[in-house]
Structure 1
Amino acid sequence: MTETTPVPFSAEQQQWYEQACARLDPERLKQLLFALTDIHSPTGAARAASEFMASHLSATGMNARYQPMTDDSGNVLAEYRGTGGGAALMLYAPIDTHLECDDAERSWTGGQTEADMQPRAKMQDDWVFGLGASNPKAMVATLTEIATALIESGVPITGDLLLGMADGGMPVDVSARQHAGMSNGVLHMLNRGAAADFAVVMKPWNWVYHEEPGMGWFKLRVHGTLGYAGVPRGTPGFRSSVVPAAAVIEALEEWLIAYAERNTSGVVAPHGWISGIRSGDPERAAFPSAITELFFDVRINPRTSPAEVKAQFADFVRDLQAKRPDLVLDWEMYGSVPGGTTDERNWVIQSAKRGWEHIEQRPHGTPDLLGGQTDGTALRRYGVPTARIGWPWPAEGSPEVLAEGLGGMGATYIPDLMPCARKIMYIVIDTLTRTRSELGL
C-alpha cells in the first residue's frame, strides 16, 4: 500500500472543517433515512425514491434534478457550485434495493419476517430498519447530510459539489424492467451531465479502497435425458442430469476457492459462490429433468479482464470433462462487469486516507481484502478517480432480530454513520477549497 501523503489543512481550512462538521445533525439524518427507507425502491423501480430525493436536495439549496430512464426508473443528480476555478467532486451512492420482498421472492429468499427484510421502515431509538436501510439508503442519507451541513455552514468553496444517486446499482439483471441493474443507472448518469474530476463512493466497511472488483456470471449445464420415475436404474438410454450435477457442484466449489486464491492481488480477493440450481418441474416429479443448470457469480480483479476469467473457466470445464468423460456439459458467460482501479497516489485517494486517519487517529495501513462490487467500478472505468470509504458493518447490538446471511443490509445504527460523515466532510473541505492546480488538475 502507498503511504499517505501529508497535506495539512491551513488554519482557515481547519476552521471551515470544524464549522461544517458542527452542522452535521444525526437526528436529521435519521429522519431522512426513515422517510427514504419507507419508500420501496427495488432495482428498476426507484422513481418514487429518486423523485423524493431530488425534491429534498432542492430544498437544501442544491440545484437538483430527476433524470428519468423509464416510466418507473430514474436517477438524481444535484450540484452546489463554488466560486470557480476548483474541482468537481461527486459524492455517490446507489438508491435501489437488491430485493423486491414480494410473495414471488419468498420461494428463494426464505420468506423472512425480520424487520430488516420489510419494504416499510421501522424506527427504534437510534436504529432504522427496513429493506435497504443500511445499504444503500444509509449512504444516500449520510451523503445528503454532508451536503446539507456544508451549505448551512457557509464555507466558501472553490470547486463544485455534486451528489449522484442512481437506480440500477445492485448486482442484478431485472429483465422485466429493461434489464435494470449492473450499473445501468450510473452509466446513464455519467453520459448525461455527471462530469466530475473526483468521486467518493460510500459503502460498508471502515476502510478506504482505491479499487473494486467486477463480476462474471456463468451458467453450467449438466445434460442427461428426460426420464420417468418408473424406469429402473441402468435402463439403456436413460441418463440422469441431476445426480451427476452433485459431483459437478463439488468440483465447481473447489475451483471457485482456487480461483479466488489464484487471482487475488492488490486489495481485491475475487470470491465466487454458486448461486442456484435449476432443474425439472415440481408439478411433474415423475419425470426427471434432461438438464440441470448451475449458475454462479465470480468476482473479477481489476487486473484480470472478463475475457481472461472466461478462459480460466473454460479450462476448468475441459479438465472436468477429461476426468469425467461420462459428463455432458455446456456453459456460457451471461453477465460481465470489469473491475476498476484508481492510482493510490491520486488526490482523492490520498485525501480520503487523510480524512480516515484524522478521525481514526491511526495510520490507515492495509485494508481487509475486498470482494464487494459497486458502481465505483463504472466511475473508474469512465475515467473518474474514485475512492470508496465506509463505516463498520454490520451494525452490532440490534434491538430487533435480523435475518441471517444478508442480515444487516436493512439495519442501521445512526451513531455508526457519523464518523464516516466526518471523514467524507474532510475530503469535501480538502478538495473543494483548493484550486485545480493545487489538486494536480
Structure 2
Amino acid sequence: MSDYTPIPTVPNPLSAQQLAWYEQACARIDARRLQKLLFAVTDIHSPTGLARAASEFMVGHLGKVGFNSRYMPMTETSGNVFAERRGSGGGAAVMLYSPIDTHLELDEEERQWTGSKDEADMRPRAQIVDDWVYGLGASNPKAMVATLTEIATALVESGVPLMGDLLLGMGDGGMPVDISARQHSGMSNGVLHLLNRGAAADFAVVMKPWNWVYHEEPGMGWFKLRVHGTLGYAGVPRGTPGFRSSVVPAADVIQELEKWIVEYAERNTSGVVAPHGWISGIRSGNPERPAFPSAITEIFFDVRISPRTSPADVKAQFAAFVADLQRRRPDLVLDWEMYGSVPGGTTDEANWIVQSAKRGWEFIEGRPHGKPDLLGGQTDGAALRRYGVPTVRIGWPWPAQGATEPVAEGLGGMGATYIPDLLPCARKIMYVLIDTLTRKREEMGL
C-alpha cells in the first residue's frame, strides 16, 4: 500500500475575465465535430512505426484550423505531428500531447495470439454507432488525438487573447512495444524525437484514461527468464539418462515468478504508482517438430517501474529472486536478461501545471480531487518529465460502459469510445489552457 497523501490544491480561481474566456472557449467545443474527427483518424490504420498516413492527415487538419503545423519524419513509414499557435508573448508554452500509433496491427499473424474474433474494437477500420466510435485504437490513443485537437480548435475559434503559445504534439512510437522490423519503433521514440527537434514547452498536458489528475507515471522493465534442459525425443521413456525437460520445470518457475511479481508490486508501490506486472508469454520448441522437446523454454514478462526506483534497481531485485530460486531449486538451470527498460517520471505536485489541472478537475467535478486510484499504466508522459518538461496527466472514465457493439475482453475499451465521456475531460483541459496561457510567465514561477 502507498503512504501517499496528496497536497491540498492551491486555491487560485480564474478571474472574472478568465472565467468569461473559459465559458466562451467551452461553448465552441463541438461533440459532433470531435466524433467526426475521431472517426476519420481511427479509420487510418496506424500501428507503431507505420503512422505516417495518420500523422500527415493530422498535420493537414491542424493547418486548416489555424495552426502552423508540420510533419516530422523519422523513417519512410513513421513520423510525428507538431503544431503551434503563438500567443502575443510573455506567456508560457503549453503542449497538448498524445501518441498516435496503435498497440496492434491485427494482421493474420497477430490474430493467432490476440484471440481477436472481429469485435468492433479490434477492427482496423472505424465505425460510428450513435454516440459511439469503434475501431482499433478509437479510445487509446485516437480519442486523445481527436479530443486535444477539438480543445485547441475551440480555443482558436473563441478568439480568446493568449499570451502563451499553444503547442500540439502527436508521436508515433508511443506504444509499449519494440518493433524490430521498423527500426525498433516504440518505447517513446516518437516523443523523444519531437523534444530533440524543437518541440520545446514549459508545460505539457497528457490526456489518458482514468478520471483523475496524475503528476507521475511508471516506467517499465522487460525480462526474459530461460529454463534450460536438453533436446529430447518423444519416443524415449521418462528417466532416460541425459535427458532433462525444459518445459515441465518451467511450469514451476512460472508459479514462482507470478508470486514474485505480485510481491514486487506491493514492495515497490509508492506515491500514486502501483508498478504491476504480468507474465506475457512463453516460447519453446518448434510446432513443426513436436516429437523433439525443446532444450530451452523462455518466459518473458513486463513489470512497471516506480519513478522512485531505477531500472537498475529493478534488475537487481529480479537477480535476487533468481538467485534465491536457484538455491531452493538446485535442479533448475536458469539464466535471464533485462531486454527493455524505460524509467518512470514524476513532476513536483506543487508545480503550476499540476495545480492548475487539479483546480480544473475540481471546478468540473464539484468536489476535492483527493487521492486518485493507484496507477500502473505507462505513457510518453514519463519521457516528457525525464526531459525536464513539467507534465500532468488528465483523463476520462474508462473503459466506456454500455457499448452497443461486441468488444474484446481484457483490453475491451481500447477501441470503443463514447463521445459524451470525453467532454468533461475536454472542459478540464480547457480550464488549464485558459488558466495558463492568459498569464505572464512570472505568475507561474517561470
TM-score by length of 1: 1.00
Aligned to 1:41: 46
1:120 has 2:125 as partner: yes
What per-residue deviation string (whole Å, max 9, x for no partner) do you get for residues 15-40 of structure 1? Answer: 00000000000000000000000000
1:291 has 2:305 as partner: no
* d(CA) in 2 for partners of 1:118, 1:210: 33
CA RMSD of aligned residues (A): 0.4
State, as a whole percentage, how many aligned pairs show the same letter. Answer: 81
State the secondary structure of the residue aligned to 1:265: coil
Letter in 2 for 1:180: S
Letter in 1 for 2:118: T
1:404 has 2:389 as partner: no
What per-residue deviation string (whole Å, max 9, x for no partner) do you get for residues 319-374 of structure 1? Answer: 00000000000000000000000000000000000000000000000000000000
Deviation at 1:8, TM superposition (A): 1.1
Deviation at 1:112, TM superposition (A): 2.4
Aligned to 2:327: 322
Aligned to 1:154: 159
1:136 has 2:141 as partner: yes
Q: Which of 104, 111, 121 is residue 106 of structure 1 equivalent to?
A: 111
Q: Which of 214, 219, 228 is residue 223 of structure 1 equivalent to?
A: 228
Deviation at 1:403, TM superposition (A): 0.3
Aligned to 2:186: 181
Aligned to 2:64: 59
Q: Which of 18, 24, 31 is residue 23 of structure 2 equivalent to?
A: 18
> Structure 2: which 5+ residue stretches go unaligned?
1-5
Poorly superposed stretches of 4+, deviation over 3 Å: none
Letter in 1 for 2:361: W
Letter in 1 for 2:383: A
Letter in 2 for 1:211: E
Aligned to 1:302: 307
> Structure 1: which 5+ residue stretches go unaligned?
none
Deviation at 1:106, TM superposition (A): 1.2
1:170 has 2:170 as partner: no
What per-residue deviation string (whole Å, max 9, x for no partner) do you get for residues 205-246 of structure 1? Answer: 000000000000000000000000001000110000000000
State the secondary structure of the residue aligned to 1:283: coil
1:373 has 2:378 as partner: yes
* d(CA) in 1 for partners of 2:328, 2:409: 37
Aligned to 2:3: none
What per-residue deviation string (whole Å, max 9, x for no partner) do you get for residues 275-311 of structure 1? Answer: 0000001110000000000000000000000000000
* d(CA) in 2 for partners of 1:356, 1:10: 17
Q: Which of 195, 198, 203 is residue 198 of structure 1 equivalent to?
A: 203
* d(CA) in 2 for partners of 1:146, 1:193: 23
* d(CA) in 2 for partners of 1:10, 1:403: 46
What per-residue deviation string (whole Å, max 9, x for no partner) do you get for residues 188-221 of structure 1? Answer: 0000011000000000000000000000000000
1:92 has 2:93 as partner: no
* d(CA) in 2 for partners of 1:382, 1:407: 32
Deviation at 1:401, TM superposition (A): 1.0
State the secondary structure of the residue aligned to 1:75: strand
Aligned to 1:352: 357
- The answer on whether the counterparts of 2:116 and 2:408 sit within 8 Å (CA) in structure 1 is no
1:269 has 2:267 as partner: no
Letter in 2 for 1:436: R
Aligned to 2:75: 70
* d(CA) in 2 for partners of 1:199, 1:24: 21
The number of residues matched between the two structures is 441
* d(CA) in 1 for partners of 2:295, 2:13: 67
1:281 has 2:286 as partner: yes
Q: Which of 344, 366, 385 is residue 390 of structure 2 equivalent to?
A: 385
Letter in 2 for 1:296: F
Aligned to 1:209: 214
* d(CA) in 1 for partners of 2:431, 2:236: 71
Letter in 1 for 2:304: R
1:6 has 2:6 as partner: no
Deviation at 1:107, TM superposition (A): 1.3
* d(CA) in 2 for partners of 1:29, 1:77: 19
Deviation at 1:111, TM superposition (A): 2.9
Q: Which of 87, 90, 96 is residue 82 of structure 1 equivalent to?
A: 87
